[in-house]
């Protein structure tokens, strides 16, 4: 897991160099302009899909929905999907339910696109178009480089659909290296601080919300923490009542509209005595919190960077708590759901 975390700057830089490949897929999509988009995924890939949802709604101005694969695989639903862009995100490309949902979507008239780390996967064969995230083999069960590479691939694809040429992502590899190299002290302090914690909340707004979701999953699957993710807005609508001085809160906040929306959330949890760890390019602006900063970039690219120190926190906590982050108990790399 440590080695794969460290590979991410080069993986991300390599993806930007392949921008023309994403532009080809984007051109094919542009020739069949969709009325709206649907996204299908599981696990870490589901968090990447939620990131894509923000990108598509904000940058392309299209409505987006998240698919429940079981509606097709278990209940046999066959909706009219003409003029719909159906994007399936799966690092392995081998999940039976996602493959079947993609096949059904294609049969029902959707333009289907697979986004995976296995270009020869059954999912890629099922979809009309495919995107290879090119992260290389990932041996650890916990997704690290495949997650950030999926985010980057989705950004490059959606940016290309709007006519961009990855201008804002040119230095993402170097920024990722800075994020990893500059977070060591903060990560160490966070591990020391939370190694005996049993429960943690993760929260964010906007583009950073998928990072909060992925952070919760990483902490749960590597360190067996009772971790729960909330949108900052949802946290204020009730769950904040359970926050007190025994609560650890990991707040993801990067410069932009999302961090502005998080101010009220951070004030609320801090006033209730929560122990706050802030991660992101706006982390240093959060008072009364341990902050781990990352380099500032355009807001829509922030999730690619802010997840990096969180992965290292998950790794460190797992080791400090006597776990094996490469082989968490009872977990498999590919989930065979239907």
Q: Taking the model in full, what pTM does it have? A: 0.95
Confidence of residue 330 (pLDDT cuts 50, 70, 90): low
Q: Do domains 2-169 and 172-320 have the same CATH topology?
A: yes
Distances (CA, A) of 123 to 59, 140, 224: 26, 22, 31
Decide if 33 contacts 156 (C-beta within 8 A). Answer: no
Task: Read off the pLDDT of residues 293-321 as tens digits, 9 standing for 90 and up.
Answer: 999 999 999 999 999 999 999 999 999 99
pLDDT of residue 258: 95
Over residues 18-74, the pLDDT tens digits come to 999 999 999 999 999 999 999 999 999 999 999 999 999 999 999 999 999 999 999
Mean pLDDT, to the nearest integer, of 246-257?
96
> In angstroms, rounded to a whole number, what is the distance separating the alpha carbons of residues 207 and 211?
8
Domain ranges of the chain: 2-169, 172-320
Residue 331 has pLDDT above 70, yes or no: no
**In the structure, what pLDDT confidence band is assigned to residue 336 with cuts at 50, 70 and 90?**
low
Helices (H), 195-301: 209-223, 232-236, 257-271
Proportion of the chain above pLDDT 90, given as a percent? 91
Kindly write down the DSSP assignment for every residue of 250-280, as one continuous string. EEE--TTHHHHHHHHHHHHHHHTT-EEEEES
Per-residue pLDDT, averaged over 82-103, amounts to 96
**Class in CATH terms, 172-320:** alpha beta
pLDDT, one tens digit per residue, over 279-295 is 999 999 998 779 999 99
For the segment 86-99, the average pLDDT, to the nearest whole number, is 96
User: Minimal CA–CA distance to 274: which of 286, 256, 292, 259?
Assistant: 286
Query: What integer pLDDT is reported at residue 172 of this predicted model?
Result: 98
Domain 2-169 has CATH 3.40.50.10490: yes
């Amino acid at each position: 897991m440590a080695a794969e975390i460290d590979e991410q700057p080069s993986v991300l830089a390599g993806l930007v160099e392949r921008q023309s490949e994403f532009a080809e897929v984007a051109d094919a999509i542009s020739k069949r302009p969709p009325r709206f988009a649907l996204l299908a995924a599981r696990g870490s890939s589901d968090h990447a899909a939620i990131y894509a949802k923000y990108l598509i709604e904000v940058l392309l101005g299209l409505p987006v929905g998240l698919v429940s694969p079981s509606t097709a695989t278990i209940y046999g639903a066959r909706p009219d999907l003409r003029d719909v862009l159906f994007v399936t995100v799966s690092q392995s490309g081998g999940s039976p339910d996602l493959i079947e949902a993609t096949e059904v979507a294609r049969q029902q008239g959707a333009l289907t696109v697979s986004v995976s780390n296995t270009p020869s996967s059954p999912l890629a064969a099922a979809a009309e178009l495919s995107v290879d995230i090119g992260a290389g083999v990932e041996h650890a069960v916990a997704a690290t480089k495949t997650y950030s590479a999926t985010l980057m691939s989705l950004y490059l694809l959606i940016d290309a659909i709007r006519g961009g040429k990855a201008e804002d992502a040119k230095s993402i590899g170097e920024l990722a290296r800075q994020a990893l190299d500059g977070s060591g002290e903060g990560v160490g302090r966070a591990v020391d601080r939370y190694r005996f914690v049993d429960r943690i909340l993760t929260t964010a707004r906007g583009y950073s919300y998928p990072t909060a979701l992925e952070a919760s999953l990483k902490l749960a699957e590597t360190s067996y923490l009772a971790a729960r993710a909330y949108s900052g807005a949802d946290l204020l609508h009730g769950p904040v009542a359970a926050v007190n001085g025994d609560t650890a809160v990991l707040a993801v906040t990067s410069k932009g509209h999302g961090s502005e929306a998080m101010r009220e959330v951070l004030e609320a949890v801090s006033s209730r005595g929560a122990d706050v760890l802030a991660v992101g390019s706006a982390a240093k602006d959060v008072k009364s919190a341990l902050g781990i900063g990352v380099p500032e970039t355009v807001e829509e690219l922030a999730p690619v960077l802010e997840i990096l120190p969180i992965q290292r926190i998950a790794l460190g906590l797992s080791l400090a708590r006597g776990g094996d982050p490469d082989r968490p108990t009872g977990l498999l790399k590919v989930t065979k759901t239907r």
